[in-house]
C-alpha cells in the first residue's frame, strides 16, 4: 500500500489537513474518530481488480497527528510498531509511517489497514458477553492469550514497559471475531519515567499506567473465565 492508493470520496469528506505528498484529488476520506490522544482518524478505500477483472476494495485509515512529530519520534514509533508486529503478528494491523509536510510543516501521518470494530473486548462493562465470545471463538481466545503473554514479558524484561490500554478502544474484536490492537502512536508507557522530572511524580503518566495494568488484569480474568465450562 502506498500514499497513492487513496481513492476519491465525497468532496465534503476531504481530510482537514494539507498533506504535501497526497494529491488534493486523491485524499478524500470520512472522519471516523476524534477521541484519540494523538491523532484524528479518517477512513478511505482503494479499488483493486482481481485476476478475473472483478472490483474489490481495500479499506484503510489515515491517522493525522494532533502534535508535531520529528525524525526522532518517527524512528521511535516505527521501531515500536515493528516490535508489535514482529511479536503479535496479525493482531497488529499493517501500517505505513510517512513523513511529509502537513499544513506547511514537516510532520508524520500513518496509513493503516482498517479494522471493522465489532466489540470492545477491554471494556469491563462487557464482561459476561466477552467471556461468552471468547468461549465461542477459539482464534480470538488464542490471540488474547498471546497478547497478554507478550504484555507480561514486556513488563518483566529489560527496559520494562506497559502496553497502552488507557485508550479504551485500543484493543478490540473485529467483525471477523478476531483480536486487534489498533493504536499507532507511543504504544508503551515506561514506569521509569515517573520520577525523571525534578523528582516530582508524573501523576498523569501514573494514572495511564495504572489503568492499563487494571485492564490487563481484567483481560486475564475474562480469559481464565472463558476456559471454565459454564453451568
pLDDT at 132: 96
> Which range has the worst mean pLDDT, 49-58, 130-139, 166-175?
49-58
- 3-class SS letters over the chain: CCHHHCCCCCHHHCCCCCECCCCHHHCCCEEEECCCCCEEEEEEEEEEECCCCCEEEEEEEEEEECCCCCHHHHHHHHHHHHHHHHHHHHHCCCEEEEEEEECCEEEEEEEEECCCEEECCCCHHHHHHHHHHHHHCHHHHHHHHHHHHHHHHHHHCCCCCEECCCCCCCEEEECCCCEEECCCCCCEECHHHCCCCCCCCCHHHHHHHHHHHHHHHHHHHHHHHHHCCCC
Domains and CATH numbers, the chain: 3-113 (3.30.200), 117-227 (no CATH)
Counted residue by residue, the chain has a size of 231
* Helix pair angle (138-156, 203-227), 10° resolution: 140
> What are phi and psi for residue 50, nearest 5 degrees?
-80, -175
Express each pLDDT in 61-118 by its tens digit: 888 888 888 888 889 999 999 999 999 999 999 999 999 888 888 999 998 999 999 9
Mean pLDDT of 13-34: 69
pLDDT at 5: 45
Mean pLDDT of 9-14: 53
pLDDT of 54 strictly over 80: no
Whole-model pTM: value is: 0.84
37 vs 90: which has the higher pLDDT: 90
Question: Among 37, 80, 42, which residue's Cα sits nearest to residue 167?
Answer: 37
Amino acid at each position: 500500500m502506498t500514499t497513492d492508493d487513496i481513492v476519491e470520496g465525497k468532496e465534503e469528506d476531504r481530510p482537514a489537513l494539507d498533506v504535501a505528498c497526497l494529491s488534493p484529488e486523491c485524499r478524500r476520506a470520512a472522519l471516523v474518530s476524534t477521541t484519540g490522544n494523538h491523532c484524528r482518524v479518517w477512513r478511505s478505500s482503494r479499488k483493486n481488480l482481481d485476476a478475473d477483472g472483478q472490483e474489490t476494495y481495500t479499506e484503510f485509515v489515515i491517522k493525522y497527528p494532533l502534535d508535531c512529530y520529528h525524525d526522532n519520534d518517527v524512528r521511535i514509533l516505527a521501531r515500536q510498531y515493528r516490535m508489535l508486529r514482529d511479536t503479535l503478528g496479525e493482531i497488529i494491523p499493517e501500517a505505513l509511517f510517512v513523513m511529509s509536510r502537513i499544513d506547511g510543516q514537516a510532520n508524520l501521518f500513518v496509513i493503516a489497514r482498517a479494522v471493522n470494530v465489532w466489540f470492545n473486548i477491554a471494556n469491563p462493562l462487557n464482561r459476561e458477553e466477552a467471556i461468552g465470545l471468547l468461549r465461542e471463538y477459539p482464534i480470538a481466545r488464542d490471540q488474547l492469550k498471546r497478547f497478554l503473554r507478550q504484555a507480561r514479558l514486556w513488563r518483566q524484561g529489560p527496559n520494562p514497559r506497559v502496553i497502552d490500554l488507557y485508550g479504551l478502544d485500543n484493543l478490540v474484536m473485529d467483525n471477523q471475531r478476531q483480536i486487534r490492537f489498533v493504536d499507532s502512536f507511543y504504544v508503551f508507557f515506561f514506569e521509569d519515567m515517573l520520577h525523571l522530572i525534578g523528582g516530582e511524580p508524573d501523576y498523569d503518566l501514573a494514572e495511564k499506567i495504572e489503568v492499563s495494568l487494571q485492564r490487563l488484569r481484567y483481560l486475564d480474568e475474562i480469559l481464565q473465565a472463558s476456559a471454565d465450562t459454564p453451568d
